[in-house]
Amino acid sequence: MSSGAPTADLGVSVVLPCYNRGAYLARWLEAFAWWAPYDLPVEIIVVDDGGADQAATVVDRGQARGLDIHYRRVRPPDAPRNNGQARNAGIRAARFPLILNSDPDVVFVTDVIRRLIAAWQPGTFCSVSGYFPLTRRAWLALWDESERRPLRADDYRAHLDGRQNLVHSPDDVHGLHGAFLCDRATLQRLRGYDERFYCWGWEDRDLLTRLEQGLGFTRRYVEGAIVAHQWHPTLRADDGAARSRVLWQMGWQRARAADAQPIVRNPESWGEWRGTAREPMPGTSHIDPDAARPSEIFEAYLYEAQVWRREGHPRLALERLRVAFARWWEWSGAEASDRGPLALQIALATAAGYARSGEAALEYAKAAADAGDPRLAATVLEAAASLPDMAIAIASLRARWLAEAGAIGEAIRVLEDGLAAEPLAASPLAAEAIARLAELFIRIDRPDAAQARLASVVSRGEPRLDVFERLLFDAYLVRLRQDETAGEGWPPRVAGQAAGDFLFSAAARARRAGLVYGATILFEAAAASEGDDDGLRARAASLRDQTRDEWQALALR
């Protein structure tokens, strides 16, 4: 351990929130024992977040084997789940000055605890450098093997597959997954995780933001600290009549997690149950607009609309966007009668500092088009044209619609004008627009023009391509060059691993954007990729065939 580590009552408290994860907790404890004995005292605090399984029995068995393990239940059954509050209850109960937050559905396939302790220093927090999901097929194979003999770390490592998407995310959404170590005093100063985050997602991203941006702490990805995520079906309760509320809440959490101010959450209390089974904890049934920034409320509606449209419900998406641009939380009831035309609302939202108003306007136009209202879609795009840094995004969307109508030449002209109207770095959709232009050139049998435009972006590094975009551009270039060296190094490895599910994700993104040719190439590569995820490869092969048919239909127009 570093010289700056705490010395009084030196030890580590591991906090494990457990909601119907008793069977997975048993595997976590098996892995914990592989690396024992530890250099320092280690206690395990299992916080049951209202589950209805055998977690308490698993803890009892651990105690019988001599583990320093404790069980706490933070709420009765049927109460609303709150992962952040469960973690906070464990932090409050911890005896030792270092806290290692983990999840019961991971397995430490290397000596994670010892590695994180050795790397920790004051002013830092440490997380794993490898987080690998086990596929359903791999998990079932391991389960069968466990019935014949005790599993070891090598058994899990032999089945690791997929990308480290929860550690080094290509979308820049880095969370604290699997295991991360921080000192207890710092977590107490921040009053832990935000307990208003009662749906799945972003509570760890929020804590990470406050540590890095609020306190200036340094994150250390600890070399060789690797966990495997045990496969399990999702437990997200976001179906039925409450789905709209859940989506809105998750959108608010996404927006809230990006802002470190204020760095202290849960000002009244934290980590304590304050209610009954029939009386939800205050703040978990809804977010009080008075307690949220206006931009967070706006972004919550935008997120919900994006999900509804993606799932084939454009009219629901339109309704949520109308509410967002009306901005009801900013006016009194007396002002409700006249909020002005939509164009004015879009302009006012931008003027008021709503950073994602342009993105919301594009979403509005897409939803209107999907709902069969091209006049409304055109009206929204006309209004959005007055917003800053929207020329490329609007041109890309218009070109997509023109191409779908068979007006390829007009689509190319619109795209080239849009790409010339503003710096490529100013638009987050510049790469998509260039990819669309390349596909249009290919459709009119101008592959040299497509290749030149794509190669220019790759060589200049502008716009900057994320992992998915780089895979897409490389796929185009490999196919277009068609020479002996074109396929060397394709598909590339990503973060040192086979690119299989990266390829699938890139292909799915391309297809959603209407980039059918690129999606076909990427699905082809995903279907032929390395790894033992037969289910993913089968889905890739099926979608490859669909996109091939779609491209052939486009080529005949």
pLDDT in tens, 476-501: 999 998 755 556 678 887 766 677 77
CA nearest neighbour of 361 among 373, 372, 377: 377
C-alpha–C-alpha distance, residues 397 and 394, integer Å: 5
Token pair recorded at residue 414: 């619109």
pLDDT of residue 284: 41
* pLDDT above 50 for 282: no
pLDDT of residue 432: 96
* pLDDT above 50 for 246: yes
pLDDT of residue 166: 52
Give the pLDDT band of residue 274 (cuts 50, 70, 90): low
Residues 132-146: b if buried by 16+ CB within 10 A, e if exposed:
bbbbebbbebbeeee
Averaged pLDDT score across all residues of the chain? 87
Give the pLDDT band of residue 442 (cuts 50, 70, 90): very high
pLDDT of residue 278: 39
pLDDT of residue 496: 67
C-alpha–C-alpha distance, residues 419 and 396, integer Å: 9
Contacts of 378 (CB under 8 A, 6+ apart): 365
Q: Report, as an integer, the average pLDDT of 398-407.
A: 94
pLDDT of residue 451: 95
Give the pLDDT band of residue 276 (cuts 50, 70, 90): very low
Contacts of 360 (CB under 8 A, 6+ apart): 298, 302, 305, 321, 324, 325, 349, 354
pLDDT of residue 88: 96
C-alpha–C-alpha distance, residues 228 and 219, integer Å: 21
Token pair recorded at residue 538: 């089968």
Contacts of 171 (CB under 8 A, 6+ apart): 466, 468
Q: Report, as an integer, the average pLDDT of 112-135.
A: 93
* pLDDT above 60 for 556: yes
For residue 221, list its beta bridge partners. 127
Helix (H, G, I), strand (E, B) or coil at 477: helix
pLDDT of residue 492: 80
Q: Report, as an integer, the average pLDDT of 241-261.
A: 85
- Which position has the higher pLDDT, 262 or 68? 68
pLDDT of residue 548: 96
C-alpha–C-alpha distance, residues 185 and 235, integer Å: 32
* pLDDT above 70 for 123: yes
Q: Of the ranges 285-294, 311-320, 355-364, which one carries the lowest mean pLDDT score?
A: 285-294
pLDDT of residue 505: 87
Helix-helix angle 243-256:294-310, to 10 degrees = 130
Q: Report, as an integer, the average pLDDT of 37-52.
A: 91
Helix-helix angle 314-326:243-256, to 10 degrees = 50
* pLDDT above 70 for 339: no
> Could you write out the DSSP letters of every residue in 487-518?
TTT-SPPBTTB--HHHHHHHHHHHHHTT-HHH
pLDDT of residue 8: 47
User: How far does CA 552 lie from the centroid of its chain?
Assistant: 33
Token pair recorded at residue 157: 């490592």
Contact 429, 465 (CB under 8 A): no
Q: Report, as an integer, the average pLDDT of 150-175.
A: 72
Query: Long-range pairs for 404-413 at CB < 8 Å and ≥24 separation?
Result: 404/514, 406/557, 408/440, 408/443, 408/444, 409/444, 411/440, 412/437, 412/440, 412/441, 412/444
Contact 44, 16 (CB under 8 A): yes
* pLDDT above 60 for 163: no
| Residue whose token pair is 């997509």 | 400
pLDDT of residue 213: 94
Give the pLDDT band of residue 337 (cuts 50, 70, 90): very low
Domains of the chain: 12-256 (3.90.550.10), 293-387 (no CATH), 466-557 (no CATH)
pLDDT of residue 279: 41
Contact 109, 227 (CB under 8 A): yes
pLDDT of residue 4: 46
Q: Report, as an integer, the average pLDDT of 90-112.
A: 96
CA separation, residue 486 to residues 316, 440, 447 (Å): 45, 22, 15
Q: Report, as an integer, the average pLDDT of 28-56.
A: 92
Using CB atoms within 10 A of its CB, is residue 365 exposed (0-12), middle (13-18) or buried (19+)? buried
pLDDT of residue 515: 97
* pLDDT above 50 for 434: yes
Helix (H, G, I), strand (E, B) or coil at 36: coil
Contact 48, 18 (CB under 8 A): yes
Vertex 415: Cα angle to 413 and 419 (nearest 5) = 120
pLDDT of residue 551: 94
pLDDT of residue 259: 87
Using CB atoms within 10 A of its CB, is residue 100 exposed (0-12), middle (13-18) or buried (19+)? buried
pLDDT of residue 91: 97
pLDDT of residue 3: 40
pLDDT of residue 46: 96
Give the pLDDT band of residue 234 (cuts 50, 70, 90): low
Give the pLDDT band of residue 169 (cuts 50, 70, 90): low
Q: How many CA atoms lie within 13 A of 131 on its CB side?
A: 22
Residues 215-254: b if buried by 16+ CB within 10 A, e if exposed:
eebeebebeebbbbbbbeeeeeebeeeebeebbbbbbbbb
